[in-house]
A and B are shown apart, each in its own frame.
Chain A
């Protein structure tokens, strides 16, 4: 084995804190049954942020409309349960497939142009879907949201579980999907494909001139990220039995960007840490001043960027002069 191959392989080793995190996720289900609803929200947000990390952290695409895929998956799952069949697994696969399809179709739009063009196009796609969901009220319920979604029981090798009001089943289901996606993502970013993505993030021109097909790779990762975001959206619709216009909202795209930035980009776990911090912060501030959460969110963002966002995850650099 050459030195380079060895070095690349080393990056893929499991670290102790990864095991600790997975154990923590599983333990949270056992030890905190009373908080399953909040934990479920955190896990969904974490999955959503994970999908954004694949395109932002690993491929360098700044997207302001990632909620497009989240919302698309959410509506797809809700409609599937309502109109076709209530089984959650098949609904999940259906939503993932549709979101991936949307990702593949819209990925053409992000290949050309500057950061600004990409921002606009992603924002535009999300806005179009928002308008569509708003206007097609015979299908989506319009501004009232899609109501009357009844999920069937969760069929597993261990028996059938109904979605309960405390959200225990829902959280277990979400955790399962999150961990599966985490494994898939981890395998992906440590594969040659993953390394080539980082190469083209750092220098697209150079990556192209050493023979990487830049566009094909961007299409692939954008599609995969869209599929995972769709899974997160489907989880939201399935566990809450409801889908409303706000899944496409600009707020959601901005929020997931912030979550990822809090946790740190480009190492796959940023979304999970970010989601935990973000939701806890949200709960804390909302309890204190419910109306003006957005104000503190804004202050936090401005200060974060002014100080330098990479310092947040590296406390030992706080007192050093840069």
Chain B
């Protein structure tokens, strides 16, 4: 029971790191980016290929995955995404679905459609018991890394100059621009960091979630659930939503395998029916 809870937390933390970039694009730029999973997939594939073909150690791969995905994000943002911010949501949806299709088939073409396996280092394999609770080492590693990232992110957003500039740009883009902030540059950096986090999440999650070219489609709905249920105005909202989703999913799969993903979707619909803006909403704020 507690082991399941632990696994659920690890899964939830992973989902949070994967989805937080999406929460940022959604809340900040009001942009529905269905292609977010593509960045996660990019990170995952960078890790798999670097480890299996070049023999790069796992711990070096993680920052590589972050940088690779961030670079990709930084490249695509000014080229493509920036033109889409002011468009209607339908356009954004079509555009990002198109990106997903491109990403899926490109990976399929270059790497092949089979599931990729990742060899995590020996010191992260296996599990140990604390007070009769079985704890997977790799799961623990995920939790530690993700928790550190969350704290860093929270600090970045609430304590640094960049964080306050970002929050200012979100609250009112025009006024922030008028005050001399370079809003485009802030959005570019934020987008790159968000994509990078997704890439890192994809690298961490390759072993847990599985990695194949259909990854962005398979997990798209999970990311969106995290953002829509958690609300996009805070960091804690998506975090709690991700934990809830992770625990519900792991428990559901264990206790009622027949129902499958049924529980998660139903839960989401019920929550959205009761709280259309998400569970955790900061009142006020411009939009």
User: CB within 8 Å of B: which residues of A?
Assistant: 56, 62, 64, 108-109, 112-117, 119-121, 123-125, 127-128, 131-132, 134-135, 250, 254, 257-258, 261, 291-292, 294-295, 297-302, 304-306, 309
- Chain A residues contacting B100 (CB-CB under 8 Å) are 298
Known: A116-B228, A294-B101, A306-B80. A109 touches B269 (CB 8 A): yes
- Chain B residues contacting A108 (CB-CB under 8 Å) are 273
Instruction: Find A119's partner among B224, B273, B276 (CB 8 Å cutoff).
Output: B224
Contact between chains at A124 and B102 (CB < 8 Å):
no
Instruction: Find B272's partner among A120, A134, A135, A250 (CB 8 Å cutoff).
Output: A120
Would you give the shortest CB distance from A201 to chain B, in whole angstroms? 12
Measured CA separation A132–B105 after assembly (Å): 28
For this complex, 8 residue pairs linking A to B, each with C-beta atoms less than 8 Å apart, are: A62-B89, A108-B273, A119-B32, A128-B269, A131-B261, A297-B101, A298-B100, A302-B80
Measured CA separation A56–B91 after assembly (Å): 12
Instruction: Find B260's partner among A114, A131, A298 (CB 8 Å cutoff).
Output: A131
Other contacts beyond A121-B269, A298-B103, A306-B83: 20, CB < 8 A: A56-B90, A108-B273, A116-B32, A119-B32, A124-B268, A128-B265, A128-B266, A131-B265, A135-B262, A250-B217, A254-B97, A257-B97, A258-B94, A297-B101, A298-B101, A300-B98, A301-B95, A301-B98, A302-B80, A304-B94
* Number of CB contacts from chain A to chain B under 8 A: 126
- Chain A residues contacting B273 (CB-CB under 8 Å) are 108-109, 112, 121
Complex interface bits, B96-117 against A, C-beta within 8 A gives 1, otherwise 0: 0111111111101100000000
Question: Residue among B105, B227, B266 with the most chain A CB within 10 A?
Answer: B105
Known: A124-B221, A250-B217, A292-B105. A131 touches B94 (CB 8 A): no
- Chain A residues contacting B188 (CB-CB under 8 Å) are none
Would you give the shortest CB distance from A308 to chain B, in whole angstroms? 9
How big is chain B's contact interface, by range? 35 or more
Interface of A is mostly: helix
Measured CA separation A304–B97 after assembly (Å): 12
Measured CA separation A176–B91 after assembly (Å): 33
Question: Residue among A117, A294, A305 with the most chain B CB within 10 A?
Answer: A305
Interface residues of B in 173-209 (CB under 8 A from A): none
Contact between chains at A123 and B94 (CB < 8 Å):
no
Would you give the shortest CB distance from B108 to chain A, in whole angstroms? 8
Assess whether B87 is interfacial by the CB under 8 Å rule: yes
Instruction: Find A132's partner among B217, B262, B269 (CB 8 Å cutoff).
Output: B262
